Protein backbone atom coordinates (compact mmCIF):
# COMPACT_ATOMS: atom_id res chain seq x y z
CA UNK A 1 0.00 0.00 0.00
CA UNK A 2 1.16 3.52 -0.75
CA UNK A 3 2.19 5.71 2.16
CA UNK A 4 1.51 9.44 2.09
CA UNK A 5 3.45 11.71 4.46
CA UNK A 6 1.22 14.75 4.65
CA UNK A 7 -0.09 17.68 6.64
CA UNK A 8 -3.82 18.40 6.85
CA UNK A 9 -3.41 22.12 6.09
CA UNK A 10 -0.57 21.78 3.55
CA UNK A 11 -1.66 22.89 0.06
CA UNK A 12 0.59 20.31 -1.58
CA UNK A 13 -0.78 17.56 0.65
CA UNK A 14 -4.35 18.56 -0.06
CA UNK A 15 -3.60 18.37 -3.76
CA UNK A 16 -2.20 14.85 -3.55
CA UNK A 17 -4.99 13.62 -1.27
CA UNK A 18 -7.55 14.92 -3.76
CA UNK A 19 -5.77 13.14 -6.62
CA UNK A 20 -5.62 9.88 -4.66
CA UNK A 21 -9.32 10.10 -3.85
CA UNK A 22 -10.24 10.87 -7.45
CA UNK A 23 -8.37 7.71 -8.41
CA UNK A 24 -10.03 5.72 -5.65
CA UNK A 25 -6.64 4.54 -4.42
CA UNK A 26 -6.05 3.15 -0.96
CA UNK A 27 -3.18 4.69 0.95
CA UNK A 28 -1.80 4.91 4.46
CA UNK A 29 -1.56 8.45 5.74
CA UNK A 30 1.27 9.53 8.05
CA UNK A 31 0.51 13.00 9.40
CA UNK A 32 3.54 15.26 9.74
CA UNK A 33 3.16 17.98 12.38
CA UNK A 34 4.55 21.07 10.67
CA UNK A 35 3.95 23.21 13.74
CA UNK A 36 6.37 20.98 15.65
CA UNK A 37 8.72 21.10 12.64
CA UNK A 38 8.57 17.33 12.20
CA UNK A 39 9.16 17.83 8.46
CA UNK A 40 12.61 19.23 9.37
CA UNK A 41 13.50 16.55 11.89
CA UNK A 42 16.55 14.34 11.20
CA UNK A 43 14.24 11.32 10.89
CA UNK A 44 12.06 12.95 8.25
CA UNK A 45 14.98 14.44 6.33
CA UNK A 46 16.26 10.90 5.83
CA UNK A 47 13.02 10.26 3.95
CA UNK A 48 12.86 13.59 2.14
CA UNK A 49 16.04 15.72 2.09
CA UNK A 50 14.06 18.75 0.89
CA UNK A 51 12.11 18.88 4.15
CA UNK A 52 8.76 19.35 2.43
CA UNK A 53 5.69 17.16 2.19
CA UNK A 54 4.45 14.91 0.61
CA UNK A 55 7.06 12.28 -0.24
CA UNK A 56 8.73 10.27 -1.93
CA UNK A 57 8.33 12.35 -5.08
CA UNK A 58 9.20 15.89 -4.06
CA UNK A 59 6.64 17.92 -6.02
CA UNK A 60 2.91 17.42 -5.68
CA UNK A 61 2.35 18.07 -9.39
CA UNK A 62 4.85 15.34 -10.21
CA UNK A 63 3.19 12.96 -7.75
CA UNK A 64 -0.20 13.57 -9.35
CA UNK A 65 1.15 12.88 -12.84
CA UNK A 66 2.87 9.75 -11.59
CA UNK A 67 -0.40 8.53 -10.11
CA UNK A 68 -2.24 9.23 -13.36
CA UNK A 69 0.35 7.38 -15.42
CA UNK A 70 0.45 4.43 -13.04
CA UNK A 71 -3.30 4.24 -12.46
CA UNK A 72 -4.81 5.68 -15.67
CA UNK A 73 -8.47 5.12 -14.80
CA UNK A 74 -10.15 7.50 -14.36
CA UNK A 75 -7.87 9.77 -16.41
CA UNK A 76 -6.88 13.11 -14.90
CA UNK A 77 -4.84 14.42 -17.84
CA UNK A 78 -6.01 15.50 -21.30
CA UNK A 79 -5.31 13.13 -24.19
CA UNK A 80 -3.80 15.70 -26.55
CA UNK A 81 -0.12 16.61 -25.98
CA UNK A 82 -0.84 20.33 -26.36
CA UNK A 83 -3.57 20.21 -23.75
CA UNK A 84 -1.25 18.32 -21.41
CA UNK A 85 1.33 21.06 -21.90
CA UNK A 86 -1.30 23.64 -20.96
CA UNK A 87 -2.10 21.59 -17.86
CA UNK A 88 1.57 21.65 -16.82
CA UNK A 89 1.73 25.40 -17.45
CA UNK A 90 -1.18 25.84 -15.05
CA UNK A 91 0.54 23.73 -12.40
CA UNK A 92 3.75 25.77 -12.72
CA UNK A 93 1.86 29.05 -12.63
CA UNK A 94 -0.03 28.06 -9.49
CA UNK A 95 3.08 26.67 -7.80
CA UNK A 96 4.87 29.97 -8.41
CA UNK A 97 2.25 31.71 -6.27
CA UNK A 98 2.94 29.65 -3.14
CA UNK A 99 4.94 32.46 -1.53
CA UNK A 100 1.83 34.64 -1.60
CA UNK A 101 -0.18 31.92 0.09
CA UNK A 102 2.50 31.43 2.75
CA UNK A 103 2.14 35.07 3.80
CA UNK A 104 -1.38 34.23 4.99
CA UNK A 105 -0.87 30.62 6.05
CA UNK A 106 2.16 31.10 8.26
CA UNK A 107 0.73 33.90 10.37
CA UNK A 108 -1.66 31.51 12.10
CA UNK A 109 -0.64 28.36 13.97
CA UNK A 110 3.00 28.34 12.80
CA UNK A 111 3.63 31.93 13.81
CA UNK A 112 2.08 31.38 17.23
CA UNK A 113 4.47 28.51 17.85
CA UNK A 114 7.58 30.12 16.36
CA UNK A 115 7.11 33.43 18.19
CA UNK A 116 7.56 31.64 21.52
CA UNK A 117 11.03 30.34 20.70
CA UNK A 118 14.09 32.04 22.14
CA UNK A 119 16.74 33.30 19.72
CA UNK A 120 18.86 30.28 20.59
CA UNK A 121 16.00 27.87 19.95
CA UNK A 122 15.23 29.52 16.63
CA UNK A 123 18.86 29.36 15.50
CA UNK A 124 19.04 25.69 16.42
CA UNK A 125 15.86 24.84 14.54
CA UNK A 126 17.01 26.72 11.44
CA UNK A 127 20.03 24.41 11.20
CA UNK A 128 17.75 21.55 10.18
CA UNK A 129 15.94 23.46 7.42
CA UNK A 130 17.67 22.78 4.07
CA UNK A 131 15.94 25.52 2.08
CA UNK A 132 16.94 29.19 2.45
CA UNK A 133 13.43 30.14 1.38
CA UNK A 134 11.94 28.08 4.19
CA UNK A 135 14.47 29.43 6.67
CA UNK A 136 13.40 32.94 5.80
CA UNK A 137 9.75 31.99 6.15
CA UNK A 138 10.37 30.65 9.66
CA UNK A 139 12.34 33.77 10.59
CA UNK A 140 9.46 35.91 9.36
CA UNK A 141 6.95 33.80 11.28
CA UNK A 142 9.01 33.97 14.47
CA UNK A 143 10.38 37.51 14.44
CA UNK A 144 9.18 39.62 11.52
CA UNK A 145 5.41 39.25 10.98
CA UNK A 146 4.24 40.10 7.49
CA UNK A 147 2.85 43.60 7.29
CA UNK A 148 -0.60 44.56 6.09
CA UNK A 149 1.03 46.06 2.98
CA UNK A 150 2.69 42.73 2.22
CA UNK A 151 -0.59 40.90 2.73
CA UNK A 152 -2.38 43.34 0.40
CA UNK A 153 0.24 42.76 -2.30
CA UNK A 154 -0.01 38.98 -1.91
CA UNK A 155 -3.80 39.16 -1.94
CA UNK A 156 -3.68 41.11 -5.19
CA UNK A 157 -1.53 38.45 -6.88
CA UNK A 158 -3.86 35.69 -5.74
CA UNK A 159 -6.88 37.60 -7.06
CA UNK A 160 -5.08 37.80 -10.42
CA UNK A 161 -5.09 33.99 -10.33
CA UNK A 162 -8.88 34.13 -10.16
CA UNK A 163 -8.91 36.51 -13.14
CA UNK A 164 -6.76 34.10 -15.12
CA UNK A 165 -8.97 31.18 -14.15
CA UNK A 166 -12.10 33.10 -15.09
CA UNK A 167 -10.85 33.44 -18.65
CA UNK A 168 -9.63 29.85 -18.90
CA UNK A 169 -12.95 28.45 -17.66
CA UNK A 170 -14.93 30.21 -20.38
CA UNK A 171 -14.85 27.44 -23.03
CA UNK A 172 -15.85 24.41 -20.97
CA UNK A 173 -15.96 25.12 -17.22
CA UNK A 174 -12.64 23.37 -16.47
CA UNK A 175 -9.17 24.90 -16.66
CA UNK A 176 -7.88 22.73 -19.51
CA UNK A 177 -9.75 21.02 -22.31
CA UNK A 178 -13.31 19.91 -21.58
CA UNK A 179 -12.65 17.71 -18.58
CA UNK A 180 -11.58 17.91 -14.97
CA UNK A 181 -7.80 17.46 -14.70
CA UNK A 182 -4.74 17.79 -12.49
CA UNK A 183 -4.78 21.51 -13.34
CA UNK A 184 -8.07 21.87 -11.47
CA UNK A 185 -6.70 19.77 -8.61
CA UNK A 186 -3.65 22.06 -8.43
CA UNK A 187 -5.83 25.14 -8.12
CA UNK A 188 -8.24 23.72 -5.53
CA UNK A 189 -6.14 24.29 -2.36
CA UNK A 190 -5.38 27.88 -3.40
CA UNK A 191 -9.00 28.68 -4.14
CA UNK A 192 -10.00 27.07 -0.85
CA UNK A 193 -7.78 29.53 1.05
CA UNK A 194 -8.91 32.49 -1.05
CA UNK A 195 -12.55 31.61 -0.43
CA UNK A 196 -12.03 30.86 3.25
CA UNK A 197 -10.08 33.91 4.34
CA UNK A 198 -7.88 35.75 1.87
CA UNK A 199 -10.43 37.31 -0.51
CA UNK A 200 -13.88 35.73 -0.07
CA UNK A 201 -15.54 38.77 -1.63
CA UNK A 202 -13.80 37.87 -4.91
CA UNK A 203 -15.36 34.40 -4.95
CA UNK A 204 -18.91 35.59 -5.48
CA UNK A 205 -20.98 34.89 -8.56
CA UNK A 206 -20.87 38.61 -9.28
CA UNK A 207 -17.09 39.05 -9.16
CA UNK A 208 -15.91 35.77 -10.68
CA UNK A 209 -18.98 33.84 -11.86
CA UNK A 210 -17.11 31.07 -13.68
CA UNK A 211 -14.71 30.51 -10.79
CA UNK A 212 -17.68 30.50 -8.42
CA UNK A 213 -19.45 27.83 -10.49
CA UNK A 214 -16.20 25.83 -10.91
CA UNK A 215 -15.59 25.86 -7.15
CA UNK A 216 -19.17 24.81 -6.39
CA UNK A 217 -18.89 21.96 -8.89
CA UNK A 218 -15.48 20.84 -7.60
CA UNK A 219 -16.60 20.81 -3.95
CA UNK A 220 -19.58 18.65 -4.90
CA UNK A 221 -17.31 15.88 -6.14
CA UNK A 222 -17.26 12.90 -3.75
CA UNK A 223 -13.46 12.79 -3.91
CA UNK A 224 -13.26 16.34 -2.58
CA UNK A 225 -15.27 15.33 0.46
CA UNK A 226 -13.05 12.31 1.08
CA UNK A 227 -9.86 14.36 0.67
CA UNK A 228 -10.88 16.26 3.81
CA UNK A 229 -9.54 19.75 3.10
CA UNK A 230 -11.32 20.95 6.21
CA UNK A 231 -10.95 24.49 7.56
CA UNK A 232 -7.50 26.03 7.57
CA UNK A 233 -8.40 28.34 10.43
CA UNK A 234 -9.19 26.70 13.74
CA UNK A 235 -10.05 28.18 17.10
Helix axes 11-23, 98-105, angle to 10 degrees: 110
pTM for the full model? Answer: 0.85
The residues pairing with 30 across neighbouring beta strands, listed in sequence order, are 5
CB 232 within 8 A of CB 197: yes
Helix axes 148-168, 209-219, angle to 10 degrees: 80
Q: pLDDT 10s per residue in the chain (235 long)?
A: 787 877 778 898 999 999 999 999 998 887 775 555 555 455 555 555 544 545 556 678 889 999 999 999 999 999 999 999 999 999 999 999 998 998 898 777 778 888 889 999 889 888 888 778 888 888 888 888 889 999 999 999 999 999 999 999 999 999 998 999 999 999 999 999 999 999 999 999 999 999 999 999 999 999 999 999 988 876 5
Sketch out the chain's domains with CATH numbers.
Answer: 1-76 (3.40.30.10), 79-106+146-225 (1.20.1050.10)
Burial class (CB in 10 A: 0-12, 13-18, 19+), 67: buried
Amino acid sequence: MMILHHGWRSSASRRVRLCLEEKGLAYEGHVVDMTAMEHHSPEYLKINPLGVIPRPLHESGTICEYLDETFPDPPLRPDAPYQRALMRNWIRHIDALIGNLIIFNWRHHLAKTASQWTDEELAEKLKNIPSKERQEAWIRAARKPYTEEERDAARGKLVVLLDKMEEALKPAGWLVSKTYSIADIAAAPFVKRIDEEIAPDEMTAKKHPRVHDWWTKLQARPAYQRANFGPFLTS
